[in-house]
Structure 1
Amino acid sequence: MANIREIQGRMKSIQDTMKITNAMYMISSSKMKRAKKVLSDTEPYFYGMQSAISRILRHVPDIEHPYFESEHPGPSHEKRIGTIVVTADKGLAGAYNHNILKLAEEQAKLPGSHTFYVLGELGRQNFRKKKPENVEVDLTFRYTVQRPTMHRARLISERLLHLFQEGNLDEVHIIYTVMVNAMTAEPQVLQLLPLKKASFGPAIAIPYGVHQEEIMLNPSADAVLSAIIPNYVTGVIYGCLVESYASEQNARMTAMESSTRSAKEMLRDLSVEFNRARQAAITQEITEVISGAKAQKSKS
């Protein structure tokens, strides 16, 4: 059995750690609530843009545009696929980073030539040490995931849109984490480019004579889509960044709550061990006192 001083030292160490985990829990809780509020405040604008694209496609269902998927795509093994991988800058978030990296490795096994654009320092460190086969990691793509901003999302979207427009990428995906509920978060893959018309509602030609709302596209439907879609992609990326950030904070809250609970259980067990050790020490002292008294009495 450990002595009383050792048990007291372990208890103090656990109590100090518990203060840290409690503080991290509170900080992550505050960050998550703020991120969810920001997302809910900006969602109506981007849903409005999605609705605008849907209206254009409803009026001009047969429009051909570079940002939309071609009806005759090339062979899948020849596609150049760029994937934004959203990880965290910090650890202590449970399985959050592991799940994202695992999904990214699965994505890398699909047909095509893959390039990863990694957000988050932990993801960059992981792919620097263990890069999947046949995958190129763009190490110049360095953006933090802390406190997502629209400006950062726009910089990311402009770079990926430029690569797509120049023909350097045939598809652009993003791997991020969706917070299903307070206990569950799931990593997902979302195709950003080219867009699929089906995702904006069924592109059904409206029969002649059926009344539609009046809509004016100036100078043309193609030009309007060229102006709207980059902003739409920026909004989607921003939403993914905020959703991932909220999921990260939620995962860290859960991990810190679990750590605090484990620390309390350890303290409870150590308290029992401490009381036993103290009782044993007191018993030993009483025994020594009685033995000494008996020895003095026998001498006299």
Structure 2
Amino acid sequence: MANTKEIQKRMKSIQDTMKITNAMYMISSSKLRNAKQRLEDTEPYFYSLQMAFNRFLRHVPDTESVFFGYGREQAEEKKRKGYLVITADKGLAGAYNHNVIKKAHELFEQSEHNRLFVVGELGRQYFAREGLDVDTNFQYTVQNPSLHRARVIVERIMELYMQNEVDEIDIVYTKMENAFLVETEVLKLLPLDKEDFESAVPVDVYQEELKAEPSLESVLDHMVPNYVTGFVYGALVESYASEQNSRMMAMEAASKSAKEMLQLLQVEYNRVRQAAITQEITEVISGAKAQKRKKKK
């Protein structure tokens, strides 16, 4: 059985750890609020951009743009796919990184023609350790998602798509459904699906005439990169928020476990201390009796 000093040392160590977990919980809580605000601030712009696609397709429903997959028809098993994987730079976030990496690994190994694009230090380390070929490592932190970084990512994947080196590009990221649930999502970035932008318009509603210079196709060439950039930026912010939420839950669980351990150690400490006191009293009584018997002799 451990002595009181050993138990006190363990209790002090757990208390110090609790200070760290509580601090990490508060930091992640602040970062989560900032990420949510950032996403809300940019939503109107990208919502308007999606509405612009809706208007465009109403006027040019039969467009044969490569952005909508024309000329890229392939059987599913023969498609050359690119996967943009968003992970974290740090651990201590529960199963956040594990779920994303596991899903990306499964998808990547379904074909020999797939390509990986990784954002996040843990993802880079994992795929390097597994010996998997990564097309592009975007060497910056995921702690500060920005439109500039989203544009850099999209420039690379758009370049490969336009050069016909990949037929489809998917993004693997984490979406925060609510404060208690985050889920790994796999969504297609390119080619776009017309069905995602189409909406039913009543017959008696006036539809404006749309003119574009030099052509509607030229306008589309500028709209698509901006739309994909917005989607990637949203995924970066969503993943960042999910990471902070997962870390909050992990730190809360760690603090709860630490409190339970402290309660058990406190009971053990009291038991050991009481046993030590009892032993001292017994030794004193035994010594007193021995002295008494010695005097009688």
Native 8 Å contact 1:77 1:112 kept in 2: no
Native 8 Å contact 1:25 1:252 kept in 2: yes
Native 8 Å contact 1:81 1:112 kept in 2: no
Q: Which stretch has the larger CA shift, 258-267 or 166-175?
A: 166-175
Choose from 180, 186, 193 the match for 2:177.
180
Distance 2:187 2:126 in 1: 22
Q: Tell me the amino acid that sits aligned with residue 82 of structure 2.
A: G
Q: Which residue of 1 aligns with 2:196?
A: 199
Q: Which residue of 2 aligns with 1:81?
A: 81
Distance 1:248 1:183 in 2: 12
The alignment-based identity, stated in percent, is: 59
Q: Which residue of 2 aligns with 1:254?
A: 249
| Correspondences of 1:7-156 after superposition (within 5 Å) | 7-70=7-70, 73-111=73-111, 113-131=113-131, 136-138=133-135, 140-156=137-153
TM-score between the two structures when normalised by the length of structure 1: 0.93
| Correspondences of 1:222-237 after superposition (within 5 Å) | 222-237=217-232
Q: Which residue of 2 aligns with 1:294?
A: 289
Q: Tell me the amino acid that sits aligned with residue 157 of structure 1.
A: V
| Superimposed CA distance per residue, residues 19-42 of structure 1 (whole angstroms, 9 cap, x where no aligned partner) | 111111111111111001000110
| Correspondences of 1:255-294 after superposition (within 5 Å) | 255-294=250-289
Give the count of matched residue pairs.
295
SS at match of 1:189: strand
Q: For structure 2, list consecutive stretches of 5 or more residues without a partner in the other structure.
A: none
Q: Tell me the amino acid that sits aligned with residue 62 of structure 2.
A: D
Choose from 168, 171, 193 the match for 1:171.
168
Native 8 Å contact 1:174 1:190 kept in 2: yes
Shift of 1:139: 5.0
* Alpha-carbon distance change, 152 to 40 in structure 1, aligned in 2, over 3 angstroms: same
* Alpha-carbon distance change, 203 to 115 in structure 1, aligned in 2, over 3 angstroms: farther
SS at match of 1:179: strand
SS at match of 1:137: coil
Distance 1:75 1:203 in 2: 30
Distance 2:33 2:82 in 1: 31
TM-score between the two structures when normalised by the length of structure 2: 0.94
Q: Which residue of 2 aligns with 1:220?
A: 215
Shift of 1:107: 1.3
Shift of 1:140: 4.2
Distance 1:179 1:282 in 2: 55
Shift of 1:77: 3.4
Distance 2:242 2:144 in 1: 13
